[in-house]
């Protein structure tokens, strides 16, 4: 399984083939579009982080240190909306996914290359609208836009923000359609479903959510905007409308969307864990199908966000039980990763450190989810910092760690350069430490009753809040470091070989960075996924395979 590309291909790598700005902005090459996404979501990540920093700074003092109450509300709304829709949703699936899906499939591009470019433009327009709205007055509803606050009482800029999120939804749908169809239609010869890397199973499951949940968000936001703009009642209790119906519609999207924000991370971790243990993933089929079942069951549990909102008790019981069900496939994954690592010769490079961080933090986040899914304990914990800590463990501790794992892992393939390993490990360790210091105190705060979304708090909570803010500054450092050394490595990093990690996926069989058409000769797959034996001993494996070819 020697690399297929010759040495001369670096000249024609997708990065340097045509350097004009125009060629980048009008490109239909999935790899370049991935980089366009990467640049844009990095900018949004910085914006969202500034919001987070201001929130944590403010909460150093029980009376609030720097912001007015109204500004505080706008700040956490800005932070939430930007982080969810402009960073986390497009992070791994759309950014890394765009780069990887065709390469892992052995295809030249996604099924609909032009739709892919359109989807990036939709995303940029969405981002512009959201940022415009947030800077011209902002919004105080939180990322959840609950009515009637968002329709009747808000003083903020509902319309541009909602319009932006609405557009970003279409960008997601376009990407989801593109991925699903590509995975069905563009697999290389020999690449059967059970030979797909687990990353693709995860992205497939994510795309199902993109395609089937996002339209419900679109219609919900449309209804909201309609009610807000024309002052007609849809969810208006004064007419007998039901504000909870808004919440149902919103969470029909947003609970599955939290799986958009974790499934792709699970895909990355499966790849990384296997590579750095140099072992096939334990229980491949279980891991593959657990992605699909998470996506499916994830649609059945949204009511757990509304237990105390006045929903029917019968519905609450049903939703609670279904929520417990969804933790089963998540647990399967965790155990299978551990099974993969068990007895493996683990190499602790930066991607693996991030991935191990993911496993630990995701487990904490998932287990605390069960506290929240139980009706009785949720009554105590809901709307407190416990919930904030729960979802940050998953979304930041899990998904952002996985995003960094993926960035470090595929960086050599994307750019053709190695990042400095020592700095990578340092950043990974800092992230884990800073993250726990920031968010673990919030579990205690929530348990002791500190509510979320208030600008001030009783003085007895100050110590834990200061600890949390101190952790946030370490976390910030852990984010700034990669920004610096990745940029550095673009120019000074050691050139990467085609397969620096001894990994098995098709993407490692082409040059780093890949040529415009991805593979000089279209690849043919003759091995199962994660077949390290074939990688290490290509000759014997080839002979063994011969009868099948």
Contact mark string toward ligand HEM, 158..187, x via CB under 6 A: ------------------------------
DSSP 515: B
- Tracing tokens 């990065």 back to the chain, one arrives at 15
CB closer to ligand HEM, 27 vs 323: 323
Interaction of residue 402 with ligand HEM, rule CB under 6 A:
no
- CA-CA distance, 316 to 378, in Å (whole number)? 11
Residue pair 83/479 in contact by the 8 Å Cβ criterion? no
Footprint of Cu ion on residues 236-265 (CB under 5 A)?
255
- CA-CA distance, 83 to 52, in Å (whole number)? 10
- Hey, which residues does 13 pair with through a beta bridge? 515
Residue pair 109/29 in contact by the 8 Å Cβ criterion? yes
Residue 516's binding partner out of another protein, ligand HEM, Cu ion, none, with CB under 5 to 8 Å set by partner kind = another protein
Burial category of 549 from C-beta neighbours within 10 Å (exposed 0-12, middle 13-18, buried 19 and up): exposed
Residue 372's binding partner out of ligand HEM, Cu ion, another protein, none, with CB under 5 to 8 Å set by partner kind = ligand HEM
Interaction of residue 390 with Cu ion, rule CB under 5 A:
no
- DSSP output for 166-207: HHHHHHHHHHHHHHHHHHHH-PPTT--GGGS-HHHHHHHHHH
CB closer to ligand HEM, 112 vs 371: 371
Interaction of residue 394 with ligand HEM, rule CB under 6 A:
yes
Residue pair 499/508 in contact by the 8 Å Cβ criterion? yes
- Tracing tokens 């949004």 back to the chain, one arrives at 44
Interaction of residue 391 with ligand HEM, rule CB under 6 A:
yes
Cis peptide before 478 (omega within 30 of 0): no
| Count, residues near ligand HEM per rule CB under 6 A | 24
- CA-CA distance, 225 to 91, in Å (whole number)? 27
Kindly give, in sequence order, each residue whose CB lies less than 8 Å from that of residue 186, ignoring residues fewer than 6 positions away.
Answer: 102, 105, 107, 110, 111
Residue 271's binding partner out of Cu ion, another protein, ligand HEM, none, with CB under 5 to 8 Å set by partner kind = none
Out of 126, 395, 402, 450, point to the residue binding ligand HEM (CB under 6 A).
395
Determine the interface stretch with another protein among 121-129, 220-228, 276-284, 352-360 (rule: CB under 8 A).
220-228
Residue pair 151/250 in contact by the 8 Å Cβ criterion? no
Strand locations in 15-62, DSSP E? none
Minimum distance of ligand HEM from residue 460's CB (angstroms) = 23
Footprint of ligand HEM on residues 289-318 (CB under 6 A)?
304-305
Residues at the site binding another protein, with contacts judged by CB under 8 A? 17-18, 23, 26-29, 102, 107-113, 173, 176-178, 180-182, 184-186, 208, 211-216, 218-220, 222-223, 226-227, 230-234, 237-242, 244-245, 248-249, 252, 299-300, 302-303, 306, 310-315, 318-319, 516-517
Residues at the site binding ligand HEM, with contacts judged by CB under 6 A? 144, 258-259, 261-262, 304-305, 323, 326-327, 330, 366, 369-370, 372-373, 378, 382, 387, 390-391, 394-395, 399
């Amino acid at each position: 399984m020697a690399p297929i590309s010759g040495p001369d291909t670096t000249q024609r790598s997708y990065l340097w083939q045509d350097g004009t700005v125009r060629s980048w902005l009008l490109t239909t090459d999935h790899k370049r579009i991935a980089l366009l996404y990467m640049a844009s979501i990095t900018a949004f990540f910085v914006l969202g982080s500034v919001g987070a920093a201001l929130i944590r700074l403010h909460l150093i003092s029980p009376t609030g240190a720097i912001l007015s109450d109204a500004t505080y509300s706008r700040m956490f709304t800005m932070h939430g909306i930007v982080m969810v829709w402009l960073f986390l949703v497009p992070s791994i699936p759309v950014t890394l996914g765009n780069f990887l899906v065709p390469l892992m499939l052995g295809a030249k591009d996604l099924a609909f290359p032009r739709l892919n470019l359109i989807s990036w433009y939709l995303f940029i327009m969405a981002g512009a609208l959201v940022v415009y709205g947030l800077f011209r007055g902002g919004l105080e509803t939180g990322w959840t836009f609950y009515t009637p606050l968002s329709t009747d009482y808000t003083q903020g800029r509902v319309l541009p923000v909602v319009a932006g999120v609405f557009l970003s939804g279409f960008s997601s749908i376009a990407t989801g359609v593109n991925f699903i169809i590509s995975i069905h239609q563009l697999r290389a010869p020999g690449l059967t479903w059970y030979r797909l890397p687990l990353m693709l199973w995860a992205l497939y499951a994510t795309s199902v959510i993109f395609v089937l949940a996002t339209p419900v968000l679109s219609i919900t936001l449309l209804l909201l905007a309609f009610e807000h703009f024309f002052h007609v009642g849809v969810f208006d209790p004064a007419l007998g409308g039901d504000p909870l119906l808004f919440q149902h519609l919103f969470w029909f999207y947003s609970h599955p969307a939290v799986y958009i924000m974790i499934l792709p991370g699970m895909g990355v971790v499966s790849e990384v864990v296997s590579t750095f243990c140099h072992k096939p993933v334990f229980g491949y089929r279980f891991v593959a199908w657990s992605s699909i079942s998470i996506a499916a069951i994830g649609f059945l549990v949204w009511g757990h966000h509304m237990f105390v909102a006045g929903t029917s008790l019968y519905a609450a019981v049903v939703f609670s039980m279904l929520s417990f069900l969804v933790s089963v496939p998540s647990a399967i994954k965790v155990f299978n990763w551990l099974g993969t690592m068990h007895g493996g010769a683990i190499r602790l490079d930066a991607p693996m450190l991030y991935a191990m961080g993911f496993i630990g933090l995701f487990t904490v986040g998932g287990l605390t989810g069960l506290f929240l899914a139980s009706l009785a304990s949720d009554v105590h914990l809901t709307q407190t910092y416990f919930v904030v800590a729960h979802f940050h463990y998953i979304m930041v501790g899990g998904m952002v760690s996985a995003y960094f794992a993926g960035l470090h892992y595929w960086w050599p393939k994307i750019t053709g350069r190695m990042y400095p390993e020592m700095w990578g490990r340092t950043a990974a360790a800092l992230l884990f430490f800073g993250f726990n210091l920031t968010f673990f105190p919030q579990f205690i705060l929530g348990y002791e009753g500190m509510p979320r979304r208030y600008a001030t708090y009783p003085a007895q909570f100050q110590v834990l809040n200061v600890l949390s803010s101190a952790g946030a500054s370490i976390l910030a450092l852990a984010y700034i470091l990669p920004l610096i050394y990745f940029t550095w490595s673009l120019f000074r990093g050691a050139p990467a070989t085609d397969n620096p990690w001894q990994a098995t996926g098709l993407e490692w069989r082409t040059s780093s960075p890949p040529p415009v058409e991805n593979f000089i000769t279209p690849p043919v797959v003759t091995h199962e996924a994660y077949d390290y034996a074939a990688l290490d001993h290509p000759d014997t494996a080839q002979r063994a395979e011969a009868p099948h070819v």
